């Protein structure tokens, strides 16, 4: 049998590894990825926490109103301002609000119980009405529930200066 000639340069003679240009390209890609993705994964701003809590309260209020209208029985949105939890009674899901936000409530005295500030929704669509103020740092949003219609709105506070 004839043997094939073997070249002088073998794989063992070749230096293994990456070039500097390849390493720089990889570092640039990793850097760009971290620049855009890391803040969304690891950092949530006070404004986003306030917005999330206000949205949760608003959606819970809407769910309570819908439950009252559909069942023909009163439904109650209960917010425990100290524990930062909200739920709809009699049988709604509980939601945990962010720990970083402060919540202040203005509700009917009949619906106030220690740290729990509730708004009752009636079968015909009305409610006892009230306001939840959600604040963290310089950001504040207000969730208002109209007592006549039971409709919910969310917005920034009016400047009274």
Task: List, for residues 39-60, the tens digit of each pLDDT value.
Answer: 666 657 888 888 889 999 999 9
- Compute the distance between CA of residue 47 and CA of residue 33 in angstroms, rounded to an integer: 24
DSSP state of 80: E
Q: Where residue 161 falls among pLDDT bands split at 50, 70, 90?
A: very low
Asked whether the bond before 35 is cis by omega within 30 degrees of 0, the reply is no
Instruction: List CB contacts of 135: < 8 A, sequence separation 6 or more.
Output: 50, 101, 102, 103, 104, 141
Q: pTM score, two decimals? A: 0.70
pLDDT for the residue numbered 42: 60
Cβ-contact 72, 123 below 8 angstroms: yes
CB 150 within 8 A of CB 65: yes
Torsional sign, CA 87, 153, 71, 123 = positive
Least trusted range by pLDDT, from 17-21, 23-27, 48-52, 70-74: 17-21
User: Mind listing the pLDDT tens digit for each residue in 63-117?
Assistant: 999 999 999 999 999 999 889 899 999 887 888 898 889 999 999 998 988 789 9
């Amino acid at each position: 049998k004839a043997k094939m000639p073997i070249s002088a340069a073998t794989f063992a003679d070749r230096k293994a590894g990456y070039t500097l240009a390849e390493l720089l390209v990889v570092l640039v890609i990793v850097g760009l990825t971290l620049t855009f993705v890391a803040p969304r994964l690891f950092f949530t701003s006070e404004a986003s926490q306030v917005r999330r809590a206000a949205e949760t309260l608003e959606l819970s209020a809407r769910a309570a109103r819908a439950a009252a209208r559909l069942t023909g029985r009163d439904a109650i949105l209960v917010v425990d301002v100290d524990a930062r939890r909200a739920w709809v009674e009699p049988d709604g899901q509980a939601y945990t609000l962010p720990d970083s936000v402060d919540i202040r409530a203005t509700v009917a005295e009949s619906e106030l119980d220690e740290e729990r500030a509730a708004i009752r929704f009636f079968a015909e669509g009305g409610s006892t009405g009230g306001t939840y103020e959600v604040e963290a740092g310089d950001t504040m949003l207000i969730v208002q529930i109209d007592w006549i219609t039971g409709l919910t709105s969310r917005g920034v506070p009016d400047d009274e200066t």
